Amino acid sequence: MSEPAFALDIAGLNKSFDRPVVKDLHLRVKAGEFYALLGPNGAGKTTILRMVAGLLQPEAGSISVFGIDTRREPLKAKSIIAWVSDEPMVYDRLTPYEYLEFVAGLWNIDARTAQARSTELIGWLGLAPHAHERCGGFSKGMLQKVALAGALVHDPKLIILDEPLTGLDAGSARQVKQVLLDKVKAGVTVIMTTHILEVAERMAERIGVINHGRLVAEGTLAELRAMIGRETTLEEIFLDLVAQKEMDTDPAVDAAA
């Protein structure tokens, strides 16, 4: 059977908290693509990604990851997804090696493979000098790198990252970006939200702009430029698109996101 063309296929997705946060969202990300999801604060980006990762249940619509319906076969979908949030999901009282052993166990990776991958990731991310220290005293950047190593140790096909570069210093941010680019080169799909537009501009193959829970624009940087009819930076395009949409959208839609 051939590999599905889309790593992520979202159709008619809806989610409300005390008010609608995601409204009839349709989004497709190709396999092996680096996709950046942009949007102002409260636009619904995190809510969308949390639904994809299985951390929230949608009210309506479907999410399929490499052809697997995440609601019908959640465990099968989860086995090929990695989720990295801006708050590193790391245990203070475990060392990076212990953490990776635990994560690999959750994803049913055999011990020998997990150990080899962990050693490789720890070296790759510059964590080797701290590999046997408990994570409790680590800086935000180090914790984020441990979390990223955890996300990669089970060799996912789709990596979802929510603001992964928040709080990282330039060196750590560069390491994380490099690891992600290497993964995309190896055929892994990466979907990332970020407020650092320069990162999206330089790394993403396609960019989606979310506002008030809807996809308001999507395409390559060139396509987005063509959309607003100016040769300008992503920042200008983003502000232009968001401002344009603000004028004809109900402002009460997304404060809860």
Partner 1 sequence: MSFAPATMPWFAAHEWRLIWRDGVAMMTGGYPARRIALTVMLAVITVVLHLLANAIVGPWADAGIVADKSTLVLITGTGFLFWTVMLSQALESVTRAYYGRADLDLLFSSPASSRAVFAVRTGITAITTLLLACLLASPIVDVLAFHAGPQWLMAYLALAALSAIATALSVLITVALFRIAGPKRTRLIAQIIAAIVGAGFVIGIQAVAILHFGNMSRFALLQDPAFVDAAPALDSLVWAPAKAALGDWLALAGIVVVGAAALVGTIAFASSSFGRHAIAAAGVAQQHVAHAYGPVSFKSRSQKQQLRVKEWKLLARDPWLLSQTLMQVFYLVPPALYLWISYGKTAGTFVVVIPVLVMAAGQLSGGLSWLAISGEDAHDLVVTAPVSPFAVLTAKIEAVGVVLAVLFAPVVVLMLFASVSLALITAVFIAISSGSATAIQLWFRVPMRRAMFRRRQVASRVSTIAEALSSVFWAGTAVLTGGQQWLALLPAVLAVITLSVAWSLSPKGKRV
If one asks whether residue 123 binds partner 1 (CB under 8 A), the answer comes out as no
Q: Shortest Cβ distance from residue 124 to partner 1 (Å)?
A: 15
Q: 41 or 57, CB closer to partner 1?
A: 57
Residue 224 makes CB contacts below 8 A (sequence gap 6+) with 207, 209, 217, 234, 237, 241
If one asks whether residue 141 binds partner 1 (CB under 8 A), the answer comes out as no
Residue 209 makes CB contacts below 8 A (sequence gap 6+) with 38, 39, 215, 216, 217, 218, 224, 238, 241, 242
Report how far Cα 6 is from the mean position of its chain's Cα atoms: 16
If one asks whether residue 163 binds partner 1 (CB under 8 A), the answer comes out as no
Q: Say if residues 34 and 184 touch (Cβ distance below 8 Å).
A: yes
Interface with partner 1 (CB under 8 A), residue from 41, 57, 178, 220: 57
Cross-sheet strand order for the sheet of 20-30: 20-30, 6-16, 60-65, 68-69
Interface with partner 1 (CB under 8 A), residue from 89, 216, 228, 239: 89
Give the count of residues interacting with partner 1 (CB under 8 A): 46
Q: Say if residues 212 and 206 touch (Cβ distance below 8 Å).
A: no
If one asks whether residue 110 binds partner 1 (CB under 8 A), the answer comes out as yes
Part in contact with partner 1 (CB under 8 A); list of ranges 21-29, 95-103, 180-188, 189-197: 95-103
What are 195's two structure tokens?
């407020």
Looking at the DSSP assignment, which residues form a beta bridge with residue 207?
A: 36, 219
Interface with partner 1 (CB under 8 A), residue from 15, 28, 45, 130: 130
- Given the rule CB under 8 A, which residues bind partner 1? 53-57, 75-76, 78-79, 81-83, 85, 89-95, 97-98, 101-108, 110-112, 114-115, 118-119, 130-134, 136-138, 150
